[in-house]
Amino acid sequence: MTAMTRPRETPRVSPCPQDFRVVVRIDSWESTSVYPNGHFVRVLGRIGDLEGEIATILVENSISVVPFSEAQMCEMPVNTPGNPWKVSPEEERERKDLRETHLVFSIDPKGCEDVDDTLSVRTLANGSLELGVHIADVTHFVPPSSYIDTEARTRATTYYLADRRYDMLPSILSADLCSLLGGVDRYAVSVIWELDRTSYEIKNVWFGRTIIRSAYKLFYEAAQELLDGNFGVVEDIPELKNLDMKSRQAKLEELVWALGKLTDIARHIRAKRDRCGALELEGVEVRVQLDEKKNIHDLIPKQPLEVHETVAECMILANHWVARKIWESFPHQALLRQHPPPHQEFFSELRECAKAKGFFIDTRSNKTLADSLDNANDPNDPIVNRLLRSMATQAMSNALYFSTGSCAEEEFHHYGLALDKYTHFTSPIRRYSDIVVHRLLMAAISKDKKMEIKDNLLSNKDLEELCRHINNRNRAAQHSQKQSTELFQCMYFKDKDPENEERCISDGVIYSIRTNGVLVFIPRFGIKGAAYLRNKDGLVISCSSDSRSEWKPGSLQRFQNKITSTTTGGESVTFHLFDHVTVRISVQASRCHSDTIRLEIISNKPYMIPDTELFHQSSLLLKSDLVKEVTRSVEEAQLAQEVKVNVIQEDYQKYCQTKGRSLYTLLEEIRDLALLDVSNSYVM
């Protein structure tokens, strides 16, 4: 008889904790100890893995991404093939119906699902023009104090990372019933102006709830092509491409007229604000482009198009008029947005840098600053003006929400936009502030009609507390977006050999002088960072006769607009503000913190792009394999670690994420305040 033997179990190997990002809670910190006491909470992921690093960014910024609860989802309307949503007879009676009378359309980035806003323009019977801004009526679906309203208030905003987003509202609202998609009926809140047909001056304005049916869901590039007269893009517009030739031509002419008229009106509005001192500011914005299957396709720097300005001016106009309306109706409990003038000392570096190029920047007011920046153009190097505008941006604080009962009217002014009153009304799908403003606007309309105000408005004290919360969440959203973009940049360069990889060499522009180095901007990748002229061994940079750099003993001497490196052998090289240099890009790895981009000047001459690379790269659009390669390497790493990660999740699924602000987050905020050049973002 053969004895039965038990199969040998494979021993379970515990993962090494130092290979992972983990969350710990600090419980106490004795005054006599240099180390705090705490306990382990949960594992976020393996160091260097995309999902683990994204999870780390979310935790650092106290961003919750838990699914919406069953109670919240039970409040949502239904829209299925078997039970489609439709306009109710009651709403049809109470709202102004624009479906048959107005050509309404949206202009958004490619792939946009949460379409907050649409536009319309037409000629009235009396010869005047009518401009309309139509915004998703989110408050119809989100009653005050409902479960979903409480959750939206807690989230406060939609969080946009480089390759994904985390919505403030469930997708049935954000991507469907509240999204102003083409060819479907939707509820909207509209601001409609009557304009003089030649001067475009505003004659009167109407606010109210409407029903719209957007005729076109355009993306920015297609709208710009139509404005420029390049009608080949018609094949990319679904609403036009399947029509017969005659119908297509008629609708195309109607659409092109509307786009052209909107552009003319926007130019007039912008010129009016310019005369009051509106600023055109510069930020380094890099966008991850996704394909139809939501895979990462490319990473591209945002290109300025006139149609961006057209849409923005219409939204600014609507926000301004709504701000005036709700303040007039509720002077002590309206939610507005203020942008105070910056302290003059913050402009000192901007003034000195401009002076190095022979420009004078007058910062006494937003008007003088705007005019000075417009005149500070180097015909031989357009990057100079971009950098000067970026410095002006960094000298300013972000605009903030506030309650009008908490400060005097003279403090309401928005410095950057040159408007006396401003708010956010045009993006209620992704900003809770806009939901509050919509409710205030509806209450103001009811007050004008001497009707009962249905919603209980927040008191000044409660509104001010809500504004502080929203401002805090907005900072977290900006910081996380910046961190995620930097993560993709690092993951791309991490796998490259900086010594031999051609793509790791790029042109950089010096935009600030420091004691031991310079700050450099790399236009191709939208990267800003420090390039040291003295290394850890105390050696200083030296450039040989062929302009290649090397490290030698010596000293650095910093001046106002330049820095000179002199070796003990008497060789010297000087770097001036706005000099173009050749930079090597690599990654500084860290186990305790996120990886960072490391910049090294390898030549004091501009980088000459090889012909082979120039063929694949235009000066305006970055067409690199950056995000593709990051995604591919991440997928390979995930396959290799799939089993181990599952084990980790099983081991630690009983732990819960800690609530509240962490000491680490607080220290990070202090670090951001200390380093003036950390942030490249600016939000109006």
**How does pLDDT run across 283-320, given as a tens digit for each residue?**
556 555 545 654 434 455 667 789 999 999 999 999 99
Using CA atoms, how far apart are residues 481 and 95, in angstroms rounded to an integer? 38
pLDDT score for 502: 82
Using CA atoms, how far apart are residues 295 and 521, in angstroms rounded to an integer? 29
pLDDT score for 548: 85
Geometric angle at alpha carbon 259, from 441 and 263, rounded to 5°: 75
pLDDT score for 256: 96
Nearest to 492 by CA among 609, 629, 597, 386: 629
* CA distance readout (Å), 35 to 591, 592, 669: 19, 16, 21
Q: How many CA atoms lie within 13 A of 296 on its CB side?
A: 26
Cβ-contact 416, 550 below 8 angstroms:
no
Buried b (16+ CB within 10 A) or exposed e, 385-417: bbbbbbbbbbbbeebbbbbbeeeeeeebbbbbb
Q: For residue 98, which phi and psi values (nearest 5 degrees)? A: -105, 5
Cβ-contact 536, 516 below 8 angstroms:
no
What number of residues does the chain have? 684
Q: Quickly count: other Cβ atoms within 10 Å of residue 659's Cβ.
A: 8
How is residue 110 written in tokens? 């490619």
Helix (H) / strand (E) containing 351: helix 348-356
Q: Which residues of the chain have pLDDT under 70?
A: 1-17, 282-302, 610-684
Q: What is the reported pTM?
A: 0.84
pLDDT score for 396: 87
Q: For residue 404, which phi and psi values (nearest 5 degrees)? A: -65, -15
Nearest to 221 by CA among 312, 114, 104, 109: 109
